A and B are shown apart, each in its own frame.
Chain A
Amino acid sequence: MAVVSMTVNGKPVSVETEDRTLLVYFLREQLRLTGTHIGCDTSQCGACVVHVDGKAVKSCSMFAVQAEGANVLTIEGLAKDGKLHPVQEAFRDNHGLQCGFCTPGMIMTAVDMIRRKPKLDRNTIRHELEGNICRCTGYHNIVSSIEDAAKRMSGATS
């Protein structure tokens, strides 16, 4: 057991945890930030994607102690002052979700993707989503949501 300190969604946190606690359990069970989901045992589904120091990572595939001193952003930290993030807005407007289980990971992946590649075509979006699995939508509307969000965020109207 050790006290781990990091910044989560802009707030400093210091919590005692076991060395073997995965970041995803630390967020969900110790911080009660249950927006980050667990969808698999094999690092393949992407439901657990969060940003650590500005990069999308699978929070089921790192330990909380490794995030000591880091800046962590989860789905709960995206909306500002009651206003959804443009990617969240775009998912709502384009029916980018059905059951919503994969959505937090999809959105965190999308935000990271748009930051790295502001100009996105549908083919690139599909490749960038290789680490995120959705059992419901057939991906079509997820791709449309991200395409729309990228346009909105670059200031262009679609």
Chain B
Amino acid sequence: MITYPFKYKRAKSVADAEALMKAAPDGKLLAGGQTLIAAMKMRLASPSDLVDISGLKELSYIRVANGVVAIGAGATHFEVAASSEVARAIPALAYLASIIGDPAVRHKGTLGGSVANNDPAADYPAAVLGLNATIKTNKRSIASDAFFTGMFSTALGEGEIITEVSFPIPLKASYQKFPNPASRYAMAGVFLARTKDGVRVAVTGAGPCVFRVPAMEAALAKGFTPDAIAGITIPADGLNSDIHGSAEYRAHLVGVMAKRAVAEAA
């Protein structure tokens, strides 16, 4: 597996990455490479230039202060999973990072790469949407509800660089994932967060893009028990259907994962 040729550029800073991207005819940012390099090997992607932002100190930090967990886009899944600060503030977030892929993938893959890629079955988008996080870029701040716009698509503009995701600390949260046993991606994953403002339920894996379930959120705001959502069914229309499971199967899984999440966060 050999990729198409490209020019490799290692960025010295976010500002440098911005300039390198501007100068490239068809540049792409390279973070952990755990999605992008695989796509390039399959020749599904053929950027003219790769601008490597992995290992930038400026992007790899975890700060917990003022009710917010702020994580630099370059933090690896391994670093987030291993952070005692994240584990104390939002245990469900550390847990989510700890079950992405496998150890070698977690050593390279980053928060920013996962969120920018918005794979329909990726884990982080569920946490970002469920926790009502804010995505910070080199240009602006974007609310989670406006960020994920469709299958593999986001509100990011051409060459825009995610620098940080900041997660407000909830009262309680839970992530329940039913992994595809071969790929480890979510067949259905539910991230549920309870805050003083209410409940948010975000679903990944089941549809073309991460989505919220307002009916469950409303029911849980009235009574926070698994039974409160027992009667709510997710319509199978528009959900993913493939060799691993039908849309009906995934719709059912969402209900099961949501009830487990409620039980854990009760």
A interface vs B, CB < 8 Å? 2, 18-20, 22, 25, 41-44, 46, 49, 55-58, 60-63, 65-66, 68, 109, 112-113, 128-132
Contacts and interface: CB of A to CB of B under 8 A. Distances in A.
Contacts of A57: 104, 107-108
Given A109-B104, A128-B102, 16 more contacts: A2-B8, A18-B5, A19-B7, A43-B34, A44-B182, A55-B107, A56-B103, A56-B104, A57-B107, A57-B108, A60-B1, A63-B37, A112-B103, A113-B103, A130-B184, A131-B103
Per CB-CB distance, the 8 closest pairs between chain A and chain B, nearest first, are A131-B102, A19-B8, A130-B102, A55-B107, A20-B3, A58-B104, A65-B8, A56-B104
B103 A61 contact: no
A128 B33 contact: no
21 contacts: A2-B8, A18-B5, A20-B6, A22-B1, A22-B37, A25-B2, A41-B1, A41-B42, A43-B34, A43-B38, A44-B183, A55-B107, A56-B107, A58-B104, A62-B37, A63-B33, A65-B8, A65-B10, A66-B33, A66-B54, A130-B103
Contact of A62 (B5, B33, B101, B102): B33
Contacts of B108: 57-58, 61-62
Interface of B: 1-8, 10, 30, 33-34, 37-38, 41-42, 50, 52, 54, 78, 101-105, 107-108, 182-184
Nearest to A133: B182
A19 B103 contact: no
B105 A43 contact: yes
A20 B42 CA distance: 13
Nearest to A20: B3
Contacts of B101: 130-131
Nearest to B179: A130
A131 B104 contact: yes
Nearest to B7: A19
Contacts of B42: 41
A68 B10 CA distance: 10
A73 to B, nearest CB: 14
A17 B6 CA distance: 13
Nearest to A38: B1
